[in-house]
């Protein structure tokens, strides 16, 4: 049976990307050289290394949260919101916002309204 899905995002430099997720978002990480596993409580994101920006097609993932407004305030203070200033209520009943990591990947955060 299916148990869990984990996004696997491209990274040009695994070590620099780990630092981004650790310092900016509070993740812990295991670095395997050209692959990394990032964790924050029950959230997990994997990274794989690409050898150039030309080969790094941005990817995205969606993380469900329980207090989107507080997280929005916290990450907004770190100037991570993309595009700036947007916490939106979607027609499907979610309030959400997006950040862009240091590789151009989009991380969407949302909460059911």
pTM for the predicted model, two decimal places: 0.91
Backbone φ and ψ for 42, nearest 5 degrees, come out as -90, 0
Q: Where are the domains of the chain?
A: 8-52+59-112
| All residues at 6 or more sequence positions from 15 whose CB lies less than 8 Å from its CB, including other chains | 31
Q: CATH for 8-52+59-112, among 3.90.1150.10, 3.20.20.150, 1.20.1510.10, 3.10.180.10?
A: 3.10.180.10
pLDDT in tens, the chain (113 residues): 898 899 999 999 999 999 999 999 999 999 999 999 999 999 999 999 998 766 668 899 999 999 999 999 999 999 999 998 789 998 889 999 999 999 999 999 999 98
């Amino acid at each position: 049976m299916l148990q869990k899905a984990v996004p696997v995002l491209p990274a040009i430099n695994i070590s620099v990307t780990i630092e981004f997720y650790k310092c900016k978002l509070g993740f812990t990480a295991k670095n395997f050289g050209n692959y990394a596993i990032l964790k924050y409580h029950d959230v997990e994101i994997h990274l794989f290394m690409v050898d150039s920006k030309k080969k790094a097609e941005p990817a995205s993932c969606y993380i469900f949260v329980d207090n989107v407004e507080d997280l929005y305030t916290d990450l907004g203070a770190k100037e991570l919101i993309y595009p700036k200033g947007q916490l939106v209520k979607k027609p499907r009943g979610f309030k959400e916002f997006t950040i862009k990591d240091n590789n151009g990947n989009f991380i969407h955060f949302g909460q059911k309204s």
